């Protein structure tokens, strides 16, 4: 794994691969360039404010990364992450394993953004590869920009994102509900997070009809994992609840997925992996927020006595649900987890994350999260603001009461699926029923949790999208809490 270190870096004297972040105010005398090279650099910058100019100092490279710091901070930092992705690609092609980072006309946040881009772009899922790709082993950062403590906090975040990507990329043959729960338990003990794992017998005693129904077609037992982080200096007396969809593999059940829609369904547990990663980085960095994460885990198969369309389920809170489509299974297991969170914790805010609907992808593509909220205006506004800052953005869909009519059932309290139109919204509406009067935010991450093709520094496969968003939200959660008081 990539290692970071802080050291004094002088561009004129440094021998090795060097990235120089070229901001808006740079003293030319500090640049290790000839007059002609400097003229060329400025001409390129004039033509393209985001260009990367590479000078050979064989056997090394000097990368001059141009950027316009006059842009909005979120946009400027995002462009730096994307530039880092390009630098990683060139270094990997040359099998270079070390790099130093400095610059002028930049602020610490911009240096962090570039380093973050390096770390995320360098990731590959190569567990099953005989020949491993080249990776950056060491990145030295100019100590004038960051303290050791600041660097450590950021590295903790990046490592949790990497672990999330590993979980999501791992096929169900090697990571089912039982083994994922065991891994969560192990990592919790290392971070001082309380971890409670409910086995099938305990889930049956809790009468979680949704989780049990989805699991009926599988040979692997379900698990329900509750993670709780309780810092001594928590700003909130009632916890913030994070609920994540953990369908370890989704065949669609008896409404089996057609054609190639089943491919990449190992990623259907990305919501659970995301929420686990968020609580782990909060604990690693000692954030003063009391958090509980609730993760229902099972795969969805068409075997044995699999649940079927027309079945009526009785959920944890007593709500009856008519099954219209077994492939709308994520909301069914989430409903039990949300109802349990409300019953046992009465959280002051509840947020879920789930790869829930293709409708969300069709609506906004792969550029952000389709989000909805019920009674959580202040929290949602804060989430939207930090989303723009870290460039993991939200689009708010409406929760108008008319959508409730689309999930009413003739034979039960609700049905698990509405009509084709407004599919992302009716899925969220279904879940909001179980949140009751608790302020509630629903994040449909279907378009961003897993990329079939490389997408900038998120690379190919699991992205970890949403962890930086929720971590930034938690960093400012005390502001929201004080405002509510």
**Residue 402 covered by a domain:** yes
Cα–Cα distances in Å, from 326 out to 297, 304, 313, 454? Answer: 16, 14, 12, 31
Does 257 participate in catalysis according to the annotation? Answer: yes
Same domain, 332 and 473: yes
Q: Is residue 44 part of a domain?
A: yes
pLDDT at 484 over 90: no
Q: Is the pLDDT of residue 485 over 60?
A: no
pLDDT computed for residue 482 by the predictor: 65
CB atoms closer than 10 angstroms to residue 410: 6
* Tokens found for residue 122: 């360098």
The verdict on 221 and 94 lying in the same domain is no
Does 151 reside within a domain?
no
Question: Does pLDDT of 264 surpass 60?
Answer: yes
Given 45, 61, 153, 331, the catalytic residue: 331
Measured CA to CA, the distance from residue 482 to residue 454 in angstroms comes to 41
pLDDT at position 235:
94
Residue 130, judged by CB atoms within 10 A of its CB (0-12, 13-18, 19+), counts as exposed
| pLDDT (tens digit per residue) in 128-171 | 999 999 999 999 999 999 999 999 999 999 999 999 999 999 99
Q: In the structure, what pLDDT confidence band is assigned to residue 68 with cuts at 50, 70 and 90? A: confident
Given 145, 167, 189, which residue is the final one in a domain? 145
From the candidates 71, 257, 314, 436, give the one annotated as an active-site residue: 257
DSSP run (H or E) holding 377: helix 377-390
Q: What is the pLDDT of residues 188-218, one digit of tens each?
A: 999 999 999 999 999 999 999 999 999 999 9
Q: Is residue 337 part of a domain?
A: yes
227 Cβ neighbours under 8 A, 6+ residues apart: 184, 188, 193, 194, 195, 276, 279, 292, 293, 294, 295
Q: Are residues 410 and 437 in the same domain?
A: yes
Lowest-confidence segment of 34-38, 339-343, 367-371 by average pLDDT: 34-38
Among 301-310, 440-449, 476-485, name the one with the lowest average pLDDT. Answer: 476-485
The answer to which of 44-53, 86-95, 156-165 has the lowest mean pLDDT is 44-53
Look at residue 25 in the predicted model and tell me its pLDDT.
67
> For the CA atoms of 39, 41, 44, 45, what is the dihedral angle to 10 degrees?
-110
Q: Is the pLDDT of residue 71 over 90?
A: no
Least confident of 30-39, 333-342, 387-396: 30-39
Instruction: Tell me, yes or no, whether 293 and 353 share the same domain.
Output: yes
Q: Is the pLDDT of residue 391 over 70?
A: yes
Q: In this structure, is residue 231 part of a structural domain?
A: yes
Q: Which CATH number goes with the domain that contains 277?
A: 3.40.630.10
Confidence at residue 27, expressed as pLDDT on a 0 to 100 scale: 65
Q: Are 302 and 262 in contact (CB under 8 A)?
A: no
Are residues 175 and 131 both part of a single domain?
Answer: no
246 class by beta-carbon count within 10 Å (0-12 exposed, 13-18 middle, 19+ buried): buried
pLDDT over 80 at 88, yes or no: yes
Regarding whether 170 and 141 lie in a shared domain, the answer is no
Residue 328 is part of which domain span?
157-484
139/175 same-domain check: no
Residues 140 and 221 in one domain: no
- Final residue before a domain boundary, out of 98, 114, 145: 145
Go through 183-200 and write b for each residue having 16 or more CB atoms within 10 A of its CB, e for each that does not: bbbebbeebebebebbeb
Question: Is residue 22 one of the residues assigned to a domain?
Answer: yes
- Model pTM? 0.96
The residue-averaged pLDDT of 447-467 equals 96
pLDDT over 80 (residue 225): yes
- 335 phi and psi angles, rounded to 5 deg: -60, -45
Q: Helices marked H in 144-296 — which ranges? A: 148-169, 177-191, 200-205, 209-215, 270-284
Same domain (yes/no): 131, 193: no
The total of structural domains in the chain comes to 2
pLDDT at 350 over 90: yes
Q: What is the mean pLDDT of residues 357-386?
A: 96
Residues 429 and 284 in one domain: yes
Confidence tier at 364 by pLDDT (50, 70, 90)? very high
As a whole number, the mean pLDDT across the chain is 95
| Residue scoring higher pLDDT (70 or 347) | 347
Question: Is the separation of the CB atoms in 177 and 167 below 8 Å?
Answer: no
Residue 140 maps to which CATH number? Answer: 3.40.220.10
Whether residue 292 lies inside any domain: the answer is yes
Based on the fold, state whether residues 372 and 251 are members of the same structural domain: yes
Q: Is residue 114, in this structure, part of any structural domain at all?
A: yes
- In this structure, the answer to whether residues 304 and 392 fall within a common structural domain is yes
Last residue of a domain, one of 145, 170, 202: 145
């Amino acid at each position: 794994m990539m290692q970071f270190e802080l050291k004094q870096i002088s561009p004129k004297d440094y021998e090795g691969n060097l990235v120089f972040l070229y901001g808006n105010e740079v003293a030319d005398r500090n640049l290790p360039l000839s007059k002609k090279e400097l003229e060329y650099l400025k001409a390129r910058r004039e033509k393209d404010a985001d260009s990367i100019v590479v000078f050979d100092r064989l056997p090394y490279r000097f990368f001059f990364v141009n950027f316009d710091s006059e842009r909005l901070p979120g946009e400027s930092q995002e462009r730096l992450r994307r530039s880092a992705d390009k630098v990683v690609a060139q270094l990997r092609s040359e099998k270079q394993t070390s790099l130093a980072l400095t610059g002028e006309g930049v602020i610490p946040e911009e240096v962090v953004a570039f380093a973050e881009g390096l770390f995320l772009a360098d990731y590959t899922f190569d567990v099953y590869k005989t020949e491993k790709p080249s990776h950056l082993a060491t990145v030295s950062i100019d100590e004038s920009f960051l303290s050791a403590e600041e660097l450590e906090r950021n590295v903790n975040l990046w490592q949790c994102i990497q672990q999330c990507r590993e979980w999501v990329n791992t096929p169900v043959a090697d990571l089912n509900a039982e083994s994922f729960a065991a891994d969560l338990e192990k990592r919790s003990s290392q971070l001082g997070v309380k971890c409670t794992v409910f086995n099938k017998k305990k889930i049956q005693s809790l009468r979680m009809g949704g989780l049990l129904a989805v699991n009926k077609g599988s040979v692997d037992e379900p698990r329900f994992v509750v993670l709780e982080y309780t810092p001594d200096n928590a700003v909130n007396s009632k916890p913030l609840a994070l609920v994540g969809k953990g369908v370890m593999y989704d065949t669609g059940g008896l409404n089996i997925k057609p054609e190639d829609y089943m491919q990449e369904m190992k990623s259907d547990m990305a919501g659970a992996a995301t929420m686990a990663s968020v609580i782990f980085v909060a604990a690693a960095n000692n954030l003063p927020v009391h958090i509980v994460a609730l993760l229902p885990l099972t795969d969805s198969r068409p075997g044995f006595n699999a649940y079927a369309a027309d079945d009526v389920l009785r959920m944890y809170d007593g709500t009856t649900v008519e099954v219209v489509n077994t492939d709308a299974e994520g909301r069914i297991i989430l409903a039990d987890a949300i109802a349990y969170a409300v019953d046992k914790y009465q959280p002051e805010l509840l947020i879920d994350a789930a790869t829930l609907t293709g409708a969300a992808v069709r609506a906004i593509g792969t550029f952000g999260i389709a989000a909805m909220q019920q009674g959580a205006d202040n929290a949602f506004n804060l989430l939207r603001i930090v989303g723009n800052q870290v460039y993991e953005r939200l689009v708010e869909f409406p929760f108008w009461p008319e959508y409730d009519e689309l999930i009413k059932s003739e034979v039960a309290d609700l049905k698990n699926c509405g009509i084709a139109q407004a599919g992302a919204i009716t899925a969220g509406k279904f879940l909001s029923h179980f949140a009751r009067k608790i302020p509630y935010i629903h994040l449909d991450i279907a378009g961003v949790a897993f990329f079939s093709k490389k997408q900038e520094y998120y690379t190919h496969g699991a992205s970890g999208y949403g962890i930086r968003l929720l971590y930034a939200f938690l960093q400012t959660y005390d502001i929201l809490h004080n405002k509510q008081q």
